[in-house]
Structure 1
Amino acid sequence: MDWKTFQALLSGVNKYSTAFGRVWLSVVFVFRVMVYVVAAERVWGDEQKDFDCNTKQPGCANVCYDHFFPISHIRLWALQLIFVTCPSFMVVMHVAYRDDRERKHRAKYGDTSKLYNNTGKKHGGLWWTYLVSLFVKTAIEVSFLYILHRVYDSFYLPRLVKCEVSPCPNQVDCYIGHPTEKKVFTYFMVGASALCIVLNICEIIYLISKRIVRIANKMKRRNRNMTTYPQDYNDDSYNNCNRPVSRQDLKDKPPFLKTTEKPPYRLSTLKLNDKIRASAPNLSTTS
């Protein structure tokens, strides 16, 4: 497998990822792909020849090896790396689809018209594509860990295994080559896979919480705009019709308004004088 080509394909995902996604990609290449290529392939290079049984019965060693190692660690990890990085291409394909739509839109309506502000920004459908890819990657990681745990009994590699599978004549003792070294690499790859699961979960929480905060801020701004409009109508400039008119206000007004508007206390004084004359016509209002 050409891992350089595989790395070149995934390098395009890095510019569309969040901080957690970039860390995840670094862990995949440094702690998994590099360890796989440099060391793990050599440890499991020809493991069937190193699987030695204390019998010369033809076919017994092959059957016992297939019984205890139905799938090789190294091939299972290669398959895991391929499957776990495939969901990231969903994001790249979605961005390429957006770029194609943007190109067609500009060709139809001109270069000044834009369909997207930024085709690589995680809004709308791209946000959902990115979130679904994280869930798929997490599910693949968990599935492969379960398969490894199920097949190899808690990731443990013993030094000696006892085989009673036909065509072995009786119980045969078989010895695994480099068991301690294989055990160390197995635990290391399992730990790296668990770290990738934690990073995926953190990125999912980060994306969802950021989306919730953005929606909450939009709702706050909308409520703030709705509450500012009634306050504008409650301003004194709109409700000064019931305010008493002072003499200074009358001086500042034009002459034609001075004749029409009178202070409210003048009206009340005239009405009081009329009532006094009506009740006591012989009395004078002056003392």
Structure 2
Amino acid sequence: MSWGFLRDLLSEVNKYSTEIGRIWIAIVFIFRLLVYIVAAENVWKYEHNEFECNTKQPGCENVCFDHFFPVSQTRLWALQLIIVSTPSLLVVFYVAFRETREKRHNQKLYKSPREIDGELLCTYLVSLILKTGFEIVFLVLFYKLYNGFKVPHLVKCDRSPCPNAVDCYISKPTEKMIFLYFLVATSGLCFVLSLSELSYLIFRYSIKCYVKKYIEKQQSSKSDCHKLTVEQQVPNQTPSLAQKLIASI
């Protein structure tokens, strides 16, 4: 499988991310994508061929393997990486839309293209919510499908067409469990980072909106005071001018 597209996507999103977002991208690229490609994929490469049961009953081994591993863990990790990274496409598509719009109007419509604000902020927040949700969904899915985050040495299977309860052995269980813990830990870390970035952006722009409204309120009150002062000064000046006219007459 070629991961070049995912790498280019993460590199493009990195331009419009916060510091927390850049840490998330670094963890996804180094500790999840590269570890998966270089090491984890090879550990599970022959998982079906190396799954052995102490029976020669035709079909028993295949049925037991399908029961304990309904979905290949490596394929599920690959799907997780793709799904979790996909919401970042929203940011890329929106930025491309803004650039196309500026070219069409032949003028600069946005003050700072890389500043997360306005519509870009809403798009970015939606992508963070989706990423956080997908991380939770896949962690729960892993736990439910494999009855926890452990790889047992021995599993007992009594499904048809097995003649009775047979013992089945999983190859390299310790090595697989180490990688499983590592990938689950990095997934949990990415979830925390996405949640932190979401909270940070909401807090930051809530404070920004509050300060903006406060300044506008202060300016409005100063303007009202200025008008009131002018209105008070005008009536005071009018009698003095009238008196001068009467005196001149």
Settle same-fold status: TM greater than 0.5: yes
Note if contact 2:6-2:85 (Cα within 8 Å) is conserved in structure 1. no
> Counterparts of 1:230 and 1:199 in 2: how far apart (Å)?
46
The AA in structure 2 aligned to 1:8 is: D
Aligned to 2:136: 142
Whether 1:151 aligns to 2:145 is yes
Aligned residues: 241
Aligned to 2:25: 25
The AA in structure 2 aligned to 1:194 is: G
> Counterparts of 1:241 and 1:125 in 2: how far apart (Å)?
51
Show CA shifts across 1:213-242 (max 9, x none): 11111111111112212443448x938959
Whether 1:100 aligns to 2:69 is no
> Counterparts of 1:92 and 1:5 in 2: how far apart (Å)?
13
Aligned to 2:164: 170
> Counterparts of 2:220 and 2:111 in 1: how far apart (Å)?
28
Whether 1:56 aligns to 2:56 is yes
Matches within 5 A, 1:70-89: 70-89=70-89
Alignment gaps of 5+ in structure 2: 238-243
> Counterparts of 2:10 and 2:213 in 1: how far apart (Å)?
37
Shift in Å at residue 24 of structure 1?
Answer: 0.4
- Counterpart of 1:133 (choices 105, 127, 135) is 127
> Counterparts of 1:125 and 1:65 in 2: how far apart (Å)?
49
- Counterpart of 1:124 (choices 118, 130, 134) is 118
Q: Determine which structure has greater relative contact order: mean sequence separation of CA pairs < 8 Å that are 6+ residues apart, divided by chain length.
A: 2
Aligned to 2:241: none
Note if contact 2:85-2:131 (Cα within 8 Å) is conserved in structure 1. yes
Show CA shifts across 1:107-138 (max 9, x none): xxxxxx43222333322222111100111111
Q: Report sequence identity in percent.
A: 48
- Counterpart of 1:238 (choices 224, 228, 233) is 233
The AA in structure 2 aligned to 1:81 is: L
> Counterparts of 2:135 and 2:6 in 1: how far apart (Å)?
18
Aligned to 1:209: 203
Show CA shifts across 1:23-55 (max 9, x none): 100010111011101110111010112111111
The AA in structure 2 aligned to 1:193 is: S
Normalised TM-score (structure 2): 0.90
Q: What value does the CA root-mean-square deviation take over the aligned residues?
A: 2.2
Deviating 4+ runs (over 4 angstroms): 239-242
Structure 2 CA distance for partners of 1:128 and 1:54, relative to 1, 3 Å = same
Shift in Å at residue 18 of structure 1?
Answer: 0.8
* SS of the residue 1:70 aligns to: coil
* SS of the residue 1:205 aligns to: helix
The AA in structure 1 aligned to 2:41 is: E
* SS of the residue 2:171 aligns to: coil
Aligned to 1:196: 190
The AA in structure 2 aligned to 1:64 is: C
Show CA shifts across 1:118-169 (max 9, x none): 3333222221111001111111111111110001111121111000011111
* SS of the residue 1:57 aligns to: coil
Aligned to 2:240: none
